[in-house]
Amino acid sequence: VKNNSRPYNQVTPIPVAVDCIIFGFNENNLELLLIHRGFEPKIGQWSLMGGFVEKNEQLDAAATRVLKELTGLEEIYMEQLRAFGAVNRDSADRVISVAYFALIRKESYNKEQVQAHNAKWHSLDALPEMVFDHKDMVSYAKSTLKNKIQSQPLGFNLLPAKFTLVQLQALYEVILEEKLDKRNFRKKILFHDILEKLNEKDKQHSKKGAYLFKFREDRFKERLNRGLAFSLK
Amino acid sequence: VKNNSRPYNQVTPIPVAVDCIIFGFNENNLELLLIHRGFEPKIGQWSLMGGFVEKNEQLDAAATRVLKELTGLEEIYMEQLRAFGAVNRDSADRVISVAYFALIRKESYNKEQVQAHNAKWHSLDALPEMVFDHKDMVSYAKSTLKNKIQSQPLGFNLLPAKFTLVQLQALYEVILEEKLDKRNFRKKILFHDILEKLNEKDKQHSKKGAYLFKFREDRFKERLNRGLAFSLK
DNA sequence: TCAAAAGTGTTGCTGCTACACCCATGC
DNA sequence: GCATGGGTGTAGCAGCAACACTTTTGA
């Protein structure tokens, strides 16, 4: 039996980072939270929020820590995208980075912390130049989000707890990059029976006012258990 | 401006590995190529083929190298799944592993190399115990394959260059884990106009013989350019 | 001539798309 | 009373699922 395995003590360890693609939604735009780097390398340029993985830290925990460090938020919807491992992706050293995408409510984050990191929201269709391969990460995240949102009820993570169907539709429209028919959209969404219509209207955007809804995760999970899938198709 | 970034020279680097989930198809079964470890840790147990990423090696290149080392094959369909980063996933040291899945033709690999690694094919529904978190990787790969195959023509990577529609359907049935209607399946597949019917029959499995087809990747790409999607729906 | 697997079309129904008007309210 | 945005139903059509018999050939 051949033995091609390199003994562990001959392995060259590599710095591993996590980078967070943080999505937010603002009226009619998808936005990303980017930091203006106050440190080398690439000081003064825009980048995703990131950080190195500690020796005794789970990968997911590192991503959670980094997100919390910037926004103060915990228990946020966040998922790994994939690892990015080009040799020269980071100009300072060989670093492998694992990208995560997070969906947050723009209302809820800690403004001081964001301020302290010199971070700003940028509309997805007017992103500044970003360091390293962060642009690739973002476009990968964008298409992942676009795919996932059609078979998982993720949109609610980007909206306030109470939202109108008008807002929800606008959100789906920017993520899917297409106009949707109002009647058909409402039919599809309401069909799944995972929204609760409140006796309350949002009057900020019209005189008539639009009914507020809230996402009933309990109902969604119950449906899952019964084998009922969510689908926007 | 606060600066929470750890200087690169204070980072603890971590050993990074790649592990390959190698799928093959044999008559009516999906199979995985596993190695019987001839080295520590977990000597004598079954595991995915893997290897450490070198300091100056692209992630994808490491996966390609590892696959070639075991099978002799290059230019194989292979894609990253995601990184697995639990702190104690490897019993010998903290190792982050990036999992890849590969689709190969069982005819084409180098038998001696596989022999030399003490590797064997295992039916997916009768897998032995595997080391570390390799079982998680496999089930993640399985569901990824199941999803992808419905919107990308991946199946052909698992079949010989010439194959029958009977074989193709059997392949889809094991991956999708459901019986398919013969007439509907043929309609859907042929509709996309990416198969070429040959003037040749396979007579191994029946007296009548079944027509052989080959996948026309050129036609598939041409259709992609025209915005026509592949879908088994 | 029979057994075994390959090959082939049609129909009903479901579920999607497309589409236009009324409602409530603030000014 | 009018301008603004919110809310609602239907009909036609496309595409999917379900289904059974004929063909070919080797033994």
Contact of A178 with chain B, judged by CB distance below 8 Å, is answered with: no
pLDDT of residue A214 exceeding 50: yes
Across residues A84-89, what is the average pLDDT? 98
Angle at CA of residue B189, ends B183 and B190, nearest 5°:
85
Q: With a 7 Å cutoff on the CB, does B185 touch strand C?
A: no
Nearest-by-Cβ selection for B38 from A1, A81, A83: A1
Across residues A70-98, what is the average pLDDT? 97
Q: With a 7 Å cutoff on the CB, does B5 touch strand C?
A: no
A4: confidence class by pLDDT, cuts 50, 70, 90:
low
pLDDT score of B4: 60
- CA A183 to C1' D8 (Å) is 8
Across residues B129-141, what is the average pLDDT? 98
User: What are A194-210's pLDDT values in tens digits?
Assistant: 999 999 999 999 999 99
DSSP string, A53-99: PPTT--HHHHHHHHHHHHH---S-EEEEEEEE--TTSSSSS--EEEE
pLDDT of residue B158 exceeding 80: yes
pLDDT score of A112: 96
Across residues A151-155, what is the average pLDDT? 96
Are the Cβ atoms of B1 and A53 closer than 8 angstroms?
no
- The torsion angle over the Cα atoms of residues A80, A86, A92 and A94, rounded to 10 degrees, is 90
Chain A positions in Cβ-Cβ contact with residue B3 (cut-off 8 Å): 38-39
**CA-closest candidate to residue A232, choices A195, A187, A183:** A187
CB within 8 A of A47, min separation 6: which ones?
A34, A35, A37, A130, A131, A132, A134
Respond yes or no on whether the N-terminal peptide bond of residue B41 is cis (omega within 30° of 0): yes
Distance CA B51, CA B69 (A): 10
B233: confidence class by pLDDT, cuts 50, 70, 90:
confident
Which residue from B minimizes the CA distance to A55? B12
Nearest-by-Cβ selection for B55 from A3, A39, A94: A94
Nearest-by-Cβ selection for B5 from A8, A39, A83: A39
User: What are B66-110's pLDDT values in tens digits?
Assistant: 999 999 999 999 999 999 999 999 999 999 999 999 999 999 999
User: What are A23-50's pLDDT values in tens digits?
Assistant: 999 988 999 999 999 999 999 999 999 9
pLDDT score of B2: 44
Contact of B5 with chain A, judged by CB distance below 8 Å, is answered with: yes
**CA-closest candidate to residue A136, choices A82, A93, A178:** A82
User: What are A127-150's pLDDT values in tens digits?
Assistant: 999 999 999 999 999 999 999 999
pLDDT of residue A218 exceeding 60: yes
User: What are B31-78's pLDDT values in tens digits?
Assistant: 999 999 999 999 999 999 999 999 999 999 999 999 999 999 999 999
Distance CA B117, CA B114 (A): 5
Strand-pairing partners, residue B83, are B98
pLDDT score of B6: 77
CB within 8 A of A34, min separation 6: which ones?
A46, A47, A48, A49, A119, A120, A121, A122, A127, A128, A130
Looking at the complex, report in whole angstroms how far the Cα of residue B156 sits from the nearest Cα belonging to chain A: 24
Across residues B168-183, what is the average pLDDT? 97
Residues of chain B with pLDDT > 70, as a percent, come to: 98
pLDDT score of A30: 97
Distance CA A144, CA A104 (A): 16
Distance CA B43, CA B131 (A): 10
Respond yes or no on whether the N-terminal peptide bond of residue A41 is cis (omega within 30° of 0): yes
pLDDT of residue A2 exceeding 50: no
Helix axes A165-176, A182-191, angle to 10 degrees: 100
- The torsion angle over the Cα atoms of residues B7, B13, B18 and B19, rounded to 10 degrees, is -130
Q: Which residue has the higher pLDDT, A188 or B1?
A: A188
Q: What is the mean pLDDT of chain A?
A: 95
Distance CA A195, CA A214 (A): 6
pLDDT of residue A230 exceeding 50: yes
DSSP H/E element including A189: helix A182-191
Looking at the complex, report in whole angstroms how far the Cα of residue B227 sits from the nearest Cα belonging to chain A: 16
pLDDT of residue B170 exceeding 70: yes
pLDDT score of A1: 38
Q: Which residue has the higher pLDDT, A145 or B1?
A: A145
pLDDT of residue B3 exceeding 70: no
Of A62-76, B5-19, B50-64, B128-142, the least confident:
B5-19
pLDDT score of A120: 97
CB within 8 A of A140, min separation 6: which ones?
A81, A82, A99
Determine the nucleotide nearest to B182 by Cα–C1' distance. Answer: C7
Are the Cβ atoms of B51 and A6 closer than 8 angstroms?
yes
Across residues B127-152, what is the average pLDDT? 97
Distance CA A113, CA A70 (A): 6
pTM: 0.95
In this structure, are residues A130 and A55 in contact, taking their beta carbons and an 8 Å threshold? Answer: no
Contact of B72 with chain A, judged by CB distance below 8 Å, is answered with: no
A8: confidence class by pLDDT, cuts 50, 70, 90:
confident
Contact of A93 with chain B, judged by CB distance below 8 Å, is answered with: yes
Are the Cβ atoms of A13 and B11 closer than 8 angstroms?
no
- CA B206 to C1' D20 (Å) is 21
Determine the nucleotide nearest to B167 by Cα–C1' distance. Answer: C6
- State which residue has its Cα closest to the C1' atom of D20: B183
**Could you say which nucleotides of strand C lie within 7 A of any protein CB atom?**
3-10, 16-20, 23-26
Looking at the complex, report in whole angstroms how far the Cα of residue B126 sits from the nearest Cα belonging to chain A: 24
Q: How many C-beta atoms lie closer than 10 Å to residue B178's C-beta?
A: 8
- A111-170 residues touching B, CB cutoff 8 A: 116-118
Across residues B203-225, what is the average pLDDT? 96
pLDDT score of B163: 98
**CA-closest candidate to residue A194, choices A168, A172, A165, A223:** A223
In this structure, are residues B229 and B151 in contact, taking their beta carbons and an 8 Å threshold? Answer: yes
For B36, list phi and psi in degrees, rounded to 5: -95, 110
